[in-house]
Chain A
Amino acid sequence: MGILLGIITGIAFGYVLQRGRVCFNSAFRDLKLLKDNFLFKAVIFAMALEVITFHFMAQYGWIHLNPKPLNLVANIIGPFIFGMGMVLAGGCASGTTYRVGEGNTTAWLAVFSYGLGAWATKAGIFSPLLKAVGKYTVKIQYSNPLYLTDKSGKVSPTLATLFHISPWTMAWIVFAIFIIYVLFTKTSERPDSKLSWWAIGLLLLPIAAFGFWSSTISGRPYGLGITGGWISIFKSFTLNKSLSWEGAEVLGVIIGALIAALINKEFKFRVPKKGSTYLQVLVGGLMLGFGAAFGGGCNIGHFFTGIPQLALSSWIAGVFFILGNWTMTWIMYERG
Chain B
Amino acid sequence: MEVKPTKTIDERGEVCPVPDVDTKRALKKMKKGEILEVLIDYPLSKERIPATVKKEGHEVLAVEEIGPSEWRILIKV
Interface residues of A (CB under 8 A from B): 21, 23, 25-26, 29-30, 33-36, 38, 89-91, 95, 102, 104, 106, 188-194, 261, 265-268, 270-273, 277, 280-281, 333
Contacts and interface: CB of A to CB of B under 8 A. Distances in A.
A281 B15 contact: yes
Interface string B5-36: 00000101111111011000000000000000
A192 B69 contact: no
A26 B51 contact: no
19 contacts: A26-B16, A36-B48, A89-B15, A91-B15, A104-B15, A106-B13, A189-B55, A190-B48, A190-B51, A192-B46, A192-B51, A261-B69, A265-B69, A268-B41, A268-B68, A270-B41, A272-B14, A277-B15, A333-B21
Contacts of B10: 273
Contacts of A38: 48, 51
Given A34-B48, A36-B52, A192-B46, A25 B16 contact: yes
Nearest to B52: A34
A271 B50 CA distance: 23
Given A91-B16, A102-B43, A277-B15, 15 more contacts: A23-B16, A26-B16, A91-B15, A106-B13, A189-B54, A190-B47, A191-B51, A192-B63, A267-B69, A270-B41, A270-B42, A273-B10, A273-B13, A281-B15, A333-B21
B70 interface: yes
Contacts of B20: 33-34
A280 B14 CA distance: 12
A277 B54 CA distance: 29
A266 B41 CA distance: 8
B1 interface: no
Contacts of A95: 16
Given A192-B63, A268-B70, A333 B17 contact: yes
B16 A266 contact: no
B43 A266 contact: yes
Nearest to B60: A192
Nearest to A106: B15
Given A267-B69, A268-B41, A268-B68, A26 B47 contact: no
B3 interface: no
A33 B15 contact: no
A189 B51 CA distance: 6
Contacts of A23: 16, 44
B22 to A, nearest CB: 10
B13 A272 contact: yes
A136 B28 CA distance: 49
A77 to B, nearest CB: 25
Contact of B14 (A35, A91, A277): A277
Contact of A90 (B15, B46, B50): B15
A66 B69 CA distance: 41
A272 B19 CA distance: 11
Contacts of A273: 10, 12-14
B44 A192 contact: no
